[in-house]
Amino acid sequence: MKTTRNKQKEVADIFRLYGENYRQNNPLSYEQLKVMRHIEQCRTAAFGGHVERCNVCSFERIAYNSCRNRHCPKCQAMAKEQWLNDRKAELLPCGYFHLVFTLPHALNPIILSNRKQTMALLFSAVNETLQAFAGDPQWRLEGQLGFIGVLHTWSQTLIDHFHLHCLIPGGVLAGNRWLPARDSFLFKVESLAKEFKKRYLKKLTNVYRKDKINVPENPPIDDMLRSLAERQWIVYAKRPFAGPQQVLEYLGRYTHRVAISNHRILSVADGKVAFTYRDPERKTVRVMTLAAEEFIRRFLLHVLPKSFMKIRYFGFLAHRNKKQAIPLLRKLINPKAKLPEKIKETVAQMMLRLTGIELTLCPECRKGRMLKIRDLPKPYRDTS
């Protein structure tokens, strides 16, 4: 059996070694098949590329294109940096809060059979909950919140774990006034959890009664809903951010993650995959070994439905509002504040800034620059 011991282990290696067998023995959706194919073929001739030549020593090399699939571990670094650069224009000179809303694992069978509907309900239930609290005078605000919601569907061991990270500027927009929240406290998480539970279950019950979702026969859906209504749901508040720079660092960690990054994979050999994960109870990094088939199954659990947006904007940060709201809020909060500015740079300049690697420097003579001399088209047209 071939192994990948002599180079960085990657999800692509696992798919190339064991993917065909998995496809033959397991039913997969079109989206899952496409993700597997794209990751396997990323930065290979399948996606085309171009030939580069050094302008000093005439050394030539082939540079293949990335697949740009949002589930590909190799394609998210640049996408993340470009997205973060765009977000700099939306930062506010105030503290930010980070809340996490988690759906109980008992809902997983329903969610996995109705991903698009149930995950959309998560966004809407969280938005309604937060806006209701923002408008309640007991929390000393009474206005409209703005926030970014980032969906994650996995745990560190790749099992299904549906939760929404919310990044919230510390205050509300009330007409033409900015009302700041407390520095260390936004809303009581126990109260948020109760309201979130009520709103999510109400929405889920409504779509179930209208026969808009598939439900498992066992346990009966009505029994499940009653049980979920009786248990405690979890909303977690992380330590508030002090300012915009910390917000950008946070966004970089969470927004463009995939289920597992390549650097966590330790070995791929003999039908098994070993990878690291954080153990929150012991607060240590541990190693888990799975059969390759089980690893692929877990990875594919987190393939999102076509066109489903896992990052969404609400309140005064919603696309329809932010163009007018953000300049107003910056003026109201602190018109003299210095905020990070968008950077105009090429991919090569971005890579140099992030990694210190000069993409255009000739690897042979270390003096010349690699210039594109001709394109290499795809061997076939991918219409998916």
What does each C-alpha distance from 76 to 255, 260, 261 come to in angstroms?
10, 12, 10
Rounded Cα distance, 84 and 249, in Å? 9
% of the chain at pLDDT higher than 70: 96
Averaged pLDDT, 201-226: 87
Q: What is the pLDDT of residue 382?
A: 57
Higher confidence at residue 378 or residue 276?
A: 276
Whether residues 184 and 45 share a domain: the answer is: no
Whether residues 142 and 233 share a domain: the answer is: yes
Averaged pLDDT, 106-116: 93
Rounded Cα distance, 212 and 120, in Å? 13
Q: What is the pLDDT of residue 190?
A: 96
User: Which domain covers residue 90, as residue numbers?
Assistant: 86-259+301-333
Question: Is 109 within the bounds of a domain?
Answer: yes
Whether residues 198 and 66 share a domain: the answer is: no
Question: Is 323 within the bounds of a domain?
Answer: yes
Whether residues 66 and 183 share a domain: the answer is: no
Q: CB of 99 within 8 A of CB of 196?
A: no
Question: Is 76 within the bounds of a domain?
Answer: no
Mean pLDDT for the chain? 90
Question: Is 289 within the bounds of a domain?
Answer: no
Q: What is the pLDDT of residue 2?
A: 40
Question: Is 34 within the bounds of a domain?
Answer: yes
Rounded Cα distance, 141 and 164, in Å? 23
Whether residues 175 and 316 share a domain: the answer is: yes
pLDDT greater than 50 at residue 234: yes
Whether residues 36 and 66 share a domain: the answer is: yes
Q: What is the pLDDT of residue 380?
A: 62
Whether residues 327 and 352 share a domain: the answer is: no
Whether residues 236 and 202 share a domain: the answer is: yes
Whether residues 45 and 164 share a domain: the answer is: no
Q: pTM of the entire structure?
A: 0.89
Whether residues 18 and 152 share a domain: the answer is: no
E strand segments, the chain: 49-54, 60-64, 96-102, 146-154, 160-169, 171-174, 177-180, 234-241, 265-269, 272-279, 284-291, 311-315, 370-376
Residue 52's beta-bridge partner residues?
Answer: 61, 372
Whether residues 51 and 171 share a domain: the answer is: no
Rounded Cα distance, 53 and 59, in Å? 5
Q: CB of 12 within 8 A of CB of 39?
A: yes
- The mean-pLDDT minimum among 129-133, 137-141, 240-244, 363-367 falls in 240-244
Q: What is the pLDDT of residue 7?
A: 72
Averaged pLDDT, 64-93: 87
Give the pLDDT band (50/70/90) at residue 45: very high
Rounded Cα distance, 210 and 176, in Å? 41
Higher confidence at residue 363 or residue 216?
A: 363
Considering 66-70, 248-252, 336-340, the range whose residues carry the highest mean pLDDT is 66-70
Question: Is 264 within the bounds of a domain?
Answer: no
Question: Is 269 within the bounds of a domain?
Answer: no
Give the pLDDT band (50/70/90) at residue 327: very high
Whether residues 23 and 141 share a domain: the answer is: no
Question: Is 171 within the bounds of a domain?
Answer: yes
Q: CB of 236 within 8 A of CB of 248?
A: no
Domain count, the chain: 2
Q: What is the pLDDT of residue 1?
A: 36
